[in-house]
Each structure stands twice: as structure tokens, then as C-alpha cells.
Structure 1
Amino acid sequence: MNMIGFIGLGVMGRPMAQHLVATGQKVFLHRIKPESQFLVDQGGIAVDSARDVAAKAEIIVLMLPDTPDVEHVLFGSNGVAEGLTEGKLVIDMSSISPVATKTFAQRLRAKGVGYLDAPVSGGEVGARNAALTIMCGGSDEDFTRALPLLEKMGKAITHVGANGDGQTAKVANQIIVGLTIGAVAEALTFAQKAGADIGKVRQALMGGFASSRILEVHGQRMIDKTFDPGFRIRLHRKDLSLAADAAKAMDLALPATALTQQLMNAAVGLGLGDKDHSALIEVFGALSGAKD
């Protein structure tokens, strides 16, 4: 039986950690807050620092907001690196920079510690249902070792390649999701401005080639204006910033991504940063005068 550590008990991390606690294995948790106390009540073990998590656990899972957060938790004072010993494994399920990921992996491998980047897609619903898509970068050995735990949290689990490749796949995923949400928002705004019943427009489109999971789920959220996250616009904007930074380093043009990033900037400016990314339709409404 593995002893597991889990750091990052946010909207996504809480249900993910819950699935691991439910296995009956020892799961060490850092920074328990009132909203995550239920994990301790169900058998999780609260500890005082990231260092303590790493010292007690054999496999340490991270689910944090951004690259600087992962770097701080790994290498800051009382961080994970201070508690690691040879033979342990770090699985970073955050969505962060592929370039930084390669550096983090190199630093930990120098200590004899395995590292797997394993970012996820599927949002809060996928996390709650243990149905996340998980994109992995790392050695065959680390992937094989991590797989039984990943299978407790996700269903579509792919070993993409070496360290950083999982994060690259996640950035590509976020480009597609962001642009598609923008397309759905623009299409529904067009239909609304034209005077059509956008619920029936969505229903018609679901039977054609425009059908997609995003039109199904996020299109309905746009119609109902149910914008509780979900996945926050602020975090999706961060992911598109990762794409922009990588594109700059590669002298690569990502014009549609840049446009979607600017629309998300506008959403944050309108006070929508902590709403679900389906709230992007509110930006189109503000631009076109199609808001209710």
C-alpha cells in the first residue's frame, strides 16, 4: 500500500483527493481549510507543511493554480524538496509551463526522485466523477508507477512522452477549448441579436456537424447564465498565456489564441474572472449590445 501526499485542495483538488482517500490508503494533506475538512473526516491525515507531506508520503500529488505556485511548493522554504528522499515520486497535475516543468523534473531527478507531469482536463464535473482526461509526461517507469493512482481520478489517461510533453498537450487542449467556447459564444450572440430562440438554435446545431461537448455543456450554461465555476476564466486566461509564451519562444504565430486571450482579458476587466469560462459570452454581449 502506497502512502500518498496531496497538496492543492481547491475546486479541482478536493474531489481528486477525495477519490484517493476513498481507497483506504494513507493520504497526507496540507493546508486543510473549512471547505476541505471533510477530507480529514473521511480519513485523510492533516500535516503542517509541504515538507511534512513529502517526508511521510511515497508519492506526492500536486494540484496548484500556476507555475510560481508549483515552484514555491516544491522548492520554497519547508517545501516538498526538503522532505524528499531517493525513490519517491512527484506527480504534478497542475497546468503550468512546459519549460518550467522540464527544469523542475531535472532538479528532482538529481535527487533520485521521479517526476511526472500529469495535467488534467474535464473541469470540476470530471474531477467529481473521477472521469478526468489526464495527459502525462515522464519516464515509462514513473508513468507505470503512477497509473494506479491516476486511474482513481481519471479515465482517459495518455502517456504523451517525456517530461513537459504532458503540459504541452494540456496547453494544446486549452487552445482548442478556449477557441471553441469563443466560437459557441459568438454564434449564440449572433442568433440572439438576430431575434432567434437561442435554445432552439443550440438544439438544432447539436444535430449537425457543429455539435460538440462544449456546445452541449457550455452552450447550455450560456443560455441559462449559470456561470458558477466550473473552470474560472482567470485560470483559462493563464493557460492561454502559457501558450503565448511558448509561441513567442518558438517564433510561432497563434493569432486565434491571441484573440481569445484578449477576450478573456476583457472578461476579467468586466469582473468575470472568477466565473466559469462559459461566461465569455457576456463579453460578446457587451461588445454587440446583445446583453439581456
Structure 2
Amino acid sequence: MNATIFIGLGHMGAPMARLHSAAHPTFVFDVVPAASEGLAADSEATAIASLEAIPADVDTVILMLPTSRHVEQLLVDDGLFERLPKGAVVIDMGSSEPQSTQQLAKTAGEHGLGYVDAPVSGGVAKAETGELAIIVGGAADHVAHAMPHLEVLGGDISHVGDAGAGHAVKALNNLLSATNIAAASEAATIGAKFGVAPDVFIDVINTATGMSQASQVKFPKHILPGTFASGFAYDLMLKDMKIAMGLAEQVGFSPVTTAAFETLSEGREALGERPDHTEVARVYEQRTGIELRASEHGGEEAR
């Protein structure tokens, strides 16, 4: 039976690899050995200490790495492309740069390999349940190879185009998501200044046409309680927004999302180390002095 190597066992990668190992023979690897060893101890996965020797039955590699630089380093600089058997398919499920993905797909083809970009959306909660939204780019035959693996991890899988298209759509999704959080925070701040408590404001918006995933999920679960613990980092959000803004340059007109990107980039410095992406709301709190937390009192009394 063919096997998979799952590389990258962070907040998202670990639960994804655990689910994958229950359905397919899976080797796991991380630059932190304890991560792969720990996952293997409580799942069906098998930990490997090195990628220097690839198990003979491996025909799929799944990557869940932070950036394109990490992907390029692993596949090209460290030579993983050269060690994989002909016909194997690499599935990059991180949020990489579309132009880098296109080049990597070309290089993979030169080595007789397939390449699929399949970034995910849904956060840690849906990674744990296998209900991620997966946005797929790649040639049809490579995507067909990847589908049995993706179906274990996602509940909504969309093939949107050739290599790089999945990463382009993912970056644009995160640009829109961050802009939605900023817009909801801005509106809630204005409402609070007028005397409407943030939790009351969000409850009403969620029954009206202004609702969004930001108002329906981010505010109730992470912002109003003041926990800011979605599991997705503010810095990764900015990285994805920057990728999307690079794509926007080809259009030459993106005033709304450009303003959001600039505002959230400028607000980053005051958030301390490793802020959660839902701390977009704290940027507004700091700039206005109005706290966006649940309260029985209205407006500025909620501070």
C-alpha cells in the first residue's frame, strides 16, 4: 500500500496529520523531533527522524509549512524533489505565494513529480474535525491523486484552477477576512461611542445584512470574551494579506483592502509578541480608547 509523508506539525498540521493517519499509511516529520514523536505516540502515524532516506512506498508528500521560503528550502535547496520517486505528488497545504507555487510546480514536473496547492481555511477547530475548506490548484491528474487525501481533511473542496490558483484564492480570502474583522471592529467602536454595547451591536448585526464570519464567529468566540485565542497568528494574517496585495498590484485599484492592510500593519507594533489575528479588534481599542468586550452596559461605560 502506498504511503504519505506529512511534514509540518504545528497548530494546524498536527491535527491534520492525526486525521490523515487514521485513513492512510502516514509518516510524519517535523524539524522539532518531539512534535513527530508525540504525534506518533497518540495516532496511527509513524515518526521519521530524517528526510534523507524516503521510504520506498511513499507516493505522496503533504506540506503544512509557514511560508514559501520554507517550502522552497525543503524541496529545492535541501533536495527533497530529487529524492522522491517518479510519479509522486507533493501537496502544499500551507499559505504560500502563488508565483512561487507556479515555479515549484514547473520544477516538480522536471523531476517527474506532480504538484498541487491545497491551502485550507477554517482554523484549528475544523482541522481537528476534518471539516476544513480546501482551495485546490493544479493539473487535473495531480488533483485526482490528491483527492483521497484531501477528502479526509476537508468538508468543502474546491478545484479553482491550475497550480498557484489555490494559493491565490486563499490569500485573497484571508485579505477579505481580515478586512471584515477590521470593518466590524470599526463599526462596533462607532456604535459603542454612541452608546450601544459591543455585544448588543454584534447580536443585532448578526440578524441583519451586515453580518459576516467576523461578526458571527470571531466576535462572539474571541473578541467579546477578550480571549483572542483563535489559533491563527496576526503575523500570518499579515503575511497572507501582503501576498494578496501583491496580486492586487496587477489590478491597480484596491482602495478598501489597501487601507485595511496599512491600518493593521501599522497597528502590529503595539500588540506585543505573538498576537492572535483576532487582536485586530485591539488595534481599534488602542486607537480609540473604547473596549470591544461584552458588557451589560452600553457605549464607553463598557471600558
Q: What TM bracket, shorter-length normalisation?
A: over 0.9
Going from structure 1 to structure 2, the CA distance change for 1:9 and 1:99 (only over 3 Å counts) comes to same
* 2:27 and 2:48 in contact (8 A); partners too: no
Aligned counterparts of 1:196 and 1:145: Cα–Cα separation in 2: 53
Mapped pair 1:205 → 2:195: no
- Alignment partner, residue 92 of structure 2: 92
Mapped pair 1:46 → 2:47: yes
TM-score (norm 1): 0.93
- Alignment partner, residue 183 of structure 2: 183
Instruction: State the SS of the aligned residue for 1:280.
Output: helix
* 1:64 and 1:94 in contact (8 A); partners too: yes
**Structural mapping, 1:21-170, within 5 Å:** 21-23=21-23, 25-41=25-41, 42-53=43-54, 57-77=58-78, 79-170=79-170
Aligned counterparts of 1:4 and 1:228: Cα–Cα separation in 2: 31
RMSD over equivalenced CA pairs, Å: 1.9
1:199-226 per-residue CA deviation (whole Å, 9 max, x = no partner) reads 1211111111112222111111211111
The CA deviation at 1:144 is: 1.0
How many equivalent residue pairs? 290
- Alignment partner, residue 231 of structure 1: 232
1:151-191 per-residue CA deviation (whole Å, 9 max, x = no partner) reads 11101101111111111111221121111111111122222
What amino acid is aligned across from residue 48 of structure 2 in structure 1? V
- Alignment partner, residue 244 of structure 1: 245
Going from structure 1 to structure 2, the CA distance change for 1:55 and 1:241 (only over 3 Å counts) comes to farther
Aligned counterparts of 1:118 and 1:33: Cα–Cα separation in 2: 25
What amino acid is aligned across from residue 153 of structure 2 in structure 1? M
* 2:18 and 2:44 in contact (8 A); partners too: no
Going from structure 1 to structure 2, the CA distance change for 1:81 and 1:35 (only over 3 Å counts) comes to closer
Aligned counterparts of 1:98 and 1:161: Cα–Cα separation in 2: 12
What amino acid is aligned across from residue 195 of structure 1 in structure 2? G
Aligned counterparts of 1:33 and 1:188: Cα–Cα separation in 2: 44
Aligned counterparts of 1:33 and 1:85: Cα–Cα separation in 2: 24
What amino acid is aligned across from residue 259 of structure 1 in structure 2? A
Aligned counterparts of 1:273 and 1:168: Cα–Cα separation in 2: 28
Deviates more, 1:40-49 or 1:275-284: 40-49
Going from structure 1 to structure 2, the CA distance change for 1:252 and 1:271 (only over 3 Å counts) comes to same
TM-score (norm 2): 0.89
- What are structure 2's unaligned runs of at least 5 residues? 292-302
What amino acid is aligned across from residue 30 of structure 1 in structure 2? D
Instruction: State the SS of the aligned residue for 1:228.
Output: coil
The CA deviation at 1:46 is: 1.8
* 1:137 and 1:164 in contact (8 A); partners too: yes
The CA deviation at 1:260 is: 1.8
- Alignment partner, residue 8 of structure 1: 8
Aligned counterparts of 1:51 and 1:189: Cα–Cα separation in 2: 54
* 1:231 and 1:276 in contact (8 A); partners too: yes
- Alignment partner, residue 294 of structure 2: none
* 1:51 and 1:81 in contact (8 A); partners too: no
What amino acid is aligned across from residue 88 of structure 1 in structure 2? A
The CA deviation at 1:32 is: 4.5
Aligned counterparts of 2:56 and 2:28: Cα–Cα separation in 1: 10
